[in-house]
């Protein structure tokens, strides 16, 4: 018969069980701050969320939340509302909670900067410090680092460089800091005062941000290299990709990213009565939903108001189920009036006297081939023509590195136009020139850009200080003799987030669509967490094979069987060698960690304390 597949836990197994933390690019202890929220300890929760992530408040609004995608609770019913819980706690304890809190957090950051952070914070909380920088390390000698771009990668790099003893100066071409967060993400998703609160904390470390400064125009890249000890290029992919079909060069065919920039900066935009948005991702819906908001007669947005729009269509290659946009974006866009046409690709933009009159689309029967490469196929007989005055393109973004003379600077470029770099250090082929964010890893999530900026900062530290900030990891298993869970936690349903009604939310660009959780809702939602840092630990010497743990397990994740019925992937000999009598029949307890709900009933049922509940914690600190 087929054997059971099993493995003996190896190094890293227990950390990988905390799937939310393992999935986060900066390894935020989401399980930790969710448990703190459930216990009502919001200060502790914020410190855990802010420690590795200088943009925690922003992530609470617009993070793509890979932690939530990985959440094991989703395998039972629905994942924990991790991003929404982060928003709740940052609103309560973060920079956006008020000036007094900003001052308090600034004080903590200044203590970090001087290396005077105690082992434990006030009221026993952990210090507001990146876990990879907890402890003591040699400060840099004040080397000046230029950062081109103030998006999430640039801000994260500047934040960590300042903590390490460098003097970071950010050059931003826009009139406001934060890159695409400020000029690409609609205000109805990300309030501008929240962005400013996060930036103020970063500036409190001594980071200087020079807005309205375009590299290549106001300052030459070659001069940056001469003036600064190192340069990080962290410009995002903020230029729209255009189409190469008939009529695509008409003045009424605009880039979606550029359109959003104009909306965010309240710059005048003129559209016709019917708008077609081409694209199926989140940016396309940001564009379509912003068009709808801009038609409203709200005096607060008069500078950005568009006149006369009556219809907003959205067309994309993907079928409805294949669309890359988040489901909530698709649903809310439909509620607000975005007319969706999935499964169609543009063939021609029709012009009359040089002006757009319509777009013809053809049915797309396949977007990707068997190897998941972009290779669309079309049915030319199935056509759709939409009358319109304006076309907005949201089919992808590209870099603008026109400021960089790659040949003169010694920066080798890849076929996609991005600088070639060492994937570990992010240093380019030019000495002391680094890249971060989209340039380093392609367009990914906000939190990936944050991780990339931190990675570049650590590489620069290693280059100039001569040693690495490499945390020493200690795995701890802490017994929990009185472990117990909340009543009916495993049956609690996911908290659905409240949203502003459609009539009110489309009145302006700044009306927040998603509403905050109440404290009661947040604690209820946090109590659904399975707390995957807690594990059942078995002591074979105490086990009497009574089977009580198996009988009581509500998720049937335990099984007792013979050792010779298990495929241990070559680890059998090591187990056999530990036996006094290698010929004796051996029983083994198998556990499926993926289905375990950490209820503790097996430990409570065990008559010999062979089963215990223990908390896993990974302590990281510098020497």
CA distances from 324 to 187, 317, 398, 558 (A): 22, 11, 18, 38
The answer to whether residue 186 scores a pLDDT higher than 60 is yes
**Band of pLDDT at residue 330, cut at 50, 70 and 90:** very high
Nearest-angstrom CA–CA distance, 318 and 379: 14
Return the SS3 of 104: helix
Within 204-249, strands assigned E span: 208-210, 230-233, 239-240
Nearest-angstrom CA–CA distance, 103 and 112: 14
Nearest-angstrom CA–CA distance, 472 and 490: 35
The answer to whether residue 476 scores a pLDDT higher than 90 is no
- What per-residue confidence (pLDDT) applies to 585? 75
**Band of pLDDT at residue 265, cut at 50, 70 and 90:** very high
The answer to whether residue 198 scores a pLDDT higher than 80 is yes
- What per-residue confidence (pLDDT) applies to 566? 83
pLDDT digits (tens, 9 = 90+) for 145-171: 999 999 999 999 999 999 899 999 999
**236 and 438 Cβ atoms separated by less than 8 Å:** yes
pLDDT digits (tens, 9 = 90+) for 586-620: 788 999 988 999 999 999 999 999 999 999 877 66
DSSP state of 302: G
Q: What would the mean pLDDT of 563-592 be, rounded to a whole number?
A: 70
The answer to whether residue 581 scores a pLDDT higher than 80 is no
- What per-residue confidence (pLDDT) applies to 472? 66
Least confident piece of the model among 35-49, 436-450, 567-581: 567-581
Q: Strand pairing of 311-316 and 338-342?
A: parallel
pLDDT digits (tens, 9 = 90+) for 501-510: 999 999 999 9
The answer to whether residue 579 scores a pLDDT higher than 70 is no
Is there a common fold for 141-237+399-470 and 240-397? yes
CATH class of 141-237+399-470: alpha beta
- Closest CA relative to residue 224, chosen from 240, 239, 237, 235: 235
DSSP string, 110-173: HHHHHT---SS-GGGPPPSS-GGG-S--PPP---EEEEE--SHHHHHHHHHHHHHT-EEEEE-S
- What per-residue confidence (pLDDT) applies to 122? 45
pTM (2 decimals)?
Answer: 0.92
The answer to whether residue 567 scores a pLDDT higher than 50 is yes
- Domain spans of the chain? 141-237+399-470, 240-397
- What per-residue confidence (pLDDT) applies to 431? 97
Nearest-angstrom CA–CA distance, 199 and 214: 20
* Beta strands across the sheet bearing 534-538: 472-479, 611-621, 534-538
Place of tokens 């909530």: 328
- What per-residue confidence (pLDDT) applies to 136? 66
Assigned token pair, 308: 């006369």
**Band of pLDDT at residue 121, cut at 50, 70 and 90:** very low
**Band of pLDDT at residue 12, cut at 50, 70 and 90:** confident
- What per-residue confidence (pLDDT) applies to 102? 85
Q: Strand pairing of 558-562 and 587-591?
A: antiparallel
Nearest-angstrom CA–CA distance, 365 and 609: 60
pLDDT digits (tens, 9 = 90+) for 36-53: 999 999 988 998 999 899
Nearest-angstrom CA–CA distance, 402 and 525: 48
308 vs 332, higher pLDDT: 332
Nearest-angstrom CA–CA distance, 389 and 271: 7
In which region does residue 177 sit, left (phi positive, over 0), alpha (psi from -120 to 50) or beta (all else)?
A: beta
Q: What would the mean pLDDT of 264-278 be, rounded to a whole number?
A: 92
Q: Is CATH 3.50.50.60 what the domain over 240-397 is classified as, yes or no?
A: yes
- What per-residue confidence (pLDDT) applies to 3? 83
CA distances from 263 to 306, 423, 514 (A): 10, 36, 20
Least confident piece of the model among 480-489, 509-518, 524-533, 572-581: 572-581
Q: Strand pairing of 397-398 and 253-255?
A: unpaired
pLDDT digits (tens, 9 = 90+) for 365-385: 999 999 999 999 999 999 999
**Band of pLDDT at residue 298, cut at 50, 70 and 90:** very low
Residues 6+ apart with CB under 8 A from 497: 81, 84, 514, 515, 517
CA 252 to chain centre: 34
Radius of gyration over every alpha carbon of the chain, rounded to an integer in angstroms: 27
- Closest CA relative to residue 181, chosen from 193, 168, 195, 169: 195
The answer to whether residue 99 scores a pLDDT higher than 90 is no
Within 259-327, strands assigned E span: 274-278, 311-316
Average pLDDT, the chain: 90
529 vs 310, higher pLDDT: 529
Assigned token pair, 95: 């920079």
- What per-residue confidence (pLDDT) applies to 301? 37
β-sheet bridge partners, residue 210: 171
Within 329-465, strands assigned E span: 338-342, 344-352, 355-368, 374-387, 390-393, 397-398, 433-435
The answer to whether residue 125 scores a pLDDT higher than 50 is no
Nearest-angstrom CA–CA distance, 42 and 36: 6
- What per-residue confidence (pLDDT) applies to 98? 86
């Amino acid at each position: 018969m087929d054997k059971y597949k099993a493995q003996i836990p190896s190094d890293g197994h227990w950390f990988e069980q905390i799937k939310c933390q393992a999935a986060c690019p900066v390894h935020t202890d989401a399980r930790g701050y969710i448990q703190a929220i459930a216990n009502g300890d919001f200060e502790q929760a914020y410190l855990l969320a802010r420690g590795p992530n200088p943009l925690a408040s922003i992530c609470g609004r617009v993070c793509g939340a890979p932690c939530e995608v990985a959440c094991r609770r989703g395998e039972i019913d629905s994942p924990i509302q991790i991003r929404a819980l982060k928003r709740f706690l940052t609103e309560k304890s973060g920079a956006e909670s008020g000036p007094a809190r900003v001052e308090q957090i600034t004080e903590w950051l200044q203590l970090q900067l001087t290396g005077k952070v105690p082992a434990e914070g006030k009221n026993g909380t952990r210090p507001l410090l990146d876990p990879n920088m907890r402890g003591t390390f040699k400060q840099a000698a004040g080397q000046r680092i230029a950062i081109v771009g103030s998006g999430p990668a640039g801000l994260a790099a500047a934040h960590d460089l300042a903590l390490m003893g460098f003097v970071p100066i950010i050059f931003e071409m826009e009139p406001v800091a934060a890159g695409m967060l400020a000029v690409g993400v609609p205000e109805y998703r990300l309030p501008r005062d929240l962005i400013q609160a996060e930036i103020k904390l970063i500036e409190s470390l001594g980071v200087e941000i020079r807005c309205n400064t375009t590299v290549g125009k106001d300052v030459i890249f070659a001069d940056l290299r001469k003036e600064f000890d190192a340069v990080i290029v962290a410009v995002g992919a903020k230029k729209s990709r255009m189409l190469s079909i008939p009529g695509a060069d008409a003045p009424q065919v605009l880039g979606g990213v550029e359109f959003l920039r104009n909306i965010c900066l309240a710059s005048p935009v003129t559209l016709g009565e019917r708008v077609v948005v081409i694209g199926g991702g989140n940016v396309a819906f940001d564009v379509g939903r912003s068009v709808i908001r801009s038609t409203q007669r709200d005096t607060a947005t008069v500078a950005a108001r568009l006149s006369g729009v009556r219809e907003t269509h959205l067309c994309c290659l993907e079928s409805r189920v294949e669309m890359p946009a988040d489901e909530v974006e698709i649903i809310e866009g439909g509620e607000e009036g975005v007319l969706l046409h999935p499964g169609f690709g543009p063939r021609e933009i029709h012009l009359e006297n040089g002006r757009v009159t319509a777009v013809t689309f053809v049915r797309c029967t396949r977007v990707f081939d068997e190897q998941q490469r972009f290779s669309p196929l079309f049915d030319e007989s199935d056509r759709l023509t939409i009358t319109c005055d304006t076309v907005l393109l949201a089919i992808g973004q590209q870099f603008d590195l026109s400021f960089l003379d790659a040949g003169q600077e010694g920066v080798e470029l890849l076929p996609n136009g991005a600088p070639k770099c060492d994937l570990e250090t992010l240093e380019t082929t030019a000495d002391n020139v680094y890249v971060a964010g989209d340039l380093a890893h392609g367009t990914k999530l906000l939190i990936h850009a944050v991780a990339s900026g931190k990675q570049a900062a650590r590489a620069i530290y290693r280059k100039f200080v001569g040693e690495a900030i490499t945390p020493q990891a200690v795995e701890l298993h802490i017994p929990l003799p009185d472990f117990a869970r909340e009543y009916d936690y495993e049956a609690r349903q996911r908290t659905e987030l409240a949203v502003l009604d459609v009539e009110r939310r489309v009145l302006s660009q700044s009306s927040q669509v998603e509403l905050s959780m109440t404290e009661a809702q947040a604690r209820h939602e946090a109590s659904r967490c399975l707390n995957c840092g807690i594990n059942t630990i078995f002591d074979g010497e105490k086990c009497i094979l009574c089977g009580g743990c198996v009988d009581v397990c509500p998720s049937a994740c335990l099984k007792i069987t013979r050792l010779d019925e298990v495929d241990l992937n070559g680890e059998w000999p090591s187990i056999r060698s530990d036996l006094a009598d290698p010929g004796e029949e051996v029983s083994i307890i198998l556990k499926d960690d993926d289905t375990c709900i950490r209820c503790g009933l097996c430990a409570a049922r065990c008559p010999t304390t062979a089963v215990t509940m223990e908390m896993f914690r990974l302590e990281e600190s510098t020497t």
